[in-house]
Amino acid sequence: MDLALPEVAEQFALSAERAIVALGGLELARGAEADPARRADVLLGALDALGVPDLDPRADLESAATAAELVRIAGRYVVPFPVVGYVMAGPGGVPAALASAPPLCVDHGDLFARWSVCDFSGTSTEARPAGAPFSSRLAPFVTPLEAVGPPKGGHEGDVALLCTLWASYLLGVAEHALELAVAHVKGRVQFGRPLAELQSVRFEIADATVAVDGLRELVRFTLWRVAQAKEEALADALAARLGALDVTKPVLRVAQQLHGAAGLATEYDISVLVRHVQPALRLPVDSDAMSDIVFGALGTHGFATLFPLHSTEAGRSE
């Protein structure tokens, strides 16, 4: 297994980041709160210009890695658009979303008239917006959906891809949060010296760096596993999403704490990241519920490891 990304995926990520930065980067998220119509007006055209509608993450490892890099860049700037769902759009351009149980809620769900909603068992249902987005400062674009078609099974592969792509999205969020924290502690002077010279601050940055690097390796390994066999890798993908949650939340917390009171101020970028990533951290389920889903999947689908697994009884007999 080679954890290096295909060159086409790396080049696509560079192009995507240049395009998003040219549009304003994190200012896109700030501006969307004041003018929600800009989400579709600006971003849909930019994504189409990048060729996203022609990108099929189901096709092969190269395509899956390219899609994962795109959503990682989207996570870095908490792009106010359902990029993961749009990348996973199937025939007819219907975006895909993960959901656990009613009420169905999708971030930026109001931007499309139809959705294909999968639960963690692989059952898919067509849905449509059931109202305007909820009015919340932490999740201004979360939209309720209602099912409009009969459920259909057999979509475990899509669930694995969605979980892996969302893990890559959260990787992008964690990367940018860590970069913002490093830049702040290097530039912030307290008691006559930069915060970065304090040993306790260095320890926190080091721990966050190791966590983000580990998540990056986990996402790339999971991409490889899912591309090899989507259904067999379902437990791996679920675990990758859980791992992404367990890394991103503490990295965001450390980054915000190191900013001090400024970390809560809307004019600071870390505040934008923390607020706009909340739906990705909480939908369709939080870490505790995700843990239960992962353990349930282990019993059904198994789990790939470097070493053979033995039961207690088998171990005693040996």
Cα angle at 300 between 296 and 305, to 5 degrees?
90
How many Å apart are CA 315 and CA 308, to the nearest integer?
11
Q: Averaged over 115-134, what is the pLDDT? A: 91
The distance of Cα 71 from the centroid of its chain, to the nearest Å, equals: 7
- What are the tens digits of pLDDT across the range 282-307? 999 989 999 999 988 887 766 665 55
How many Å apart are CA 23 and CA 173, to the nearest integer?
18
Contact 122, 83 (CB under 8 A): no
- What are the tens digits of pLDDT across the range 156-200? 889 999 999 999 999 999 999 999 999 999 988 777 788 888 889
Amino acid identity for residue 147 in this structure: A
The distance of Cα 215 from the centroid of its chain, to the nearest Å, equals: 12
- What are the tens digits of pLDDT across the range 48-95? 999 999 999 999 999 999 999 999 999 999 999 999 999 999 667 899
Q: What does the pLDDT read at residue 308?
A: 55
What is the pTM assigned to this prediction?
0.92
CATH 1.10.260.40 given to domain 156-301? no
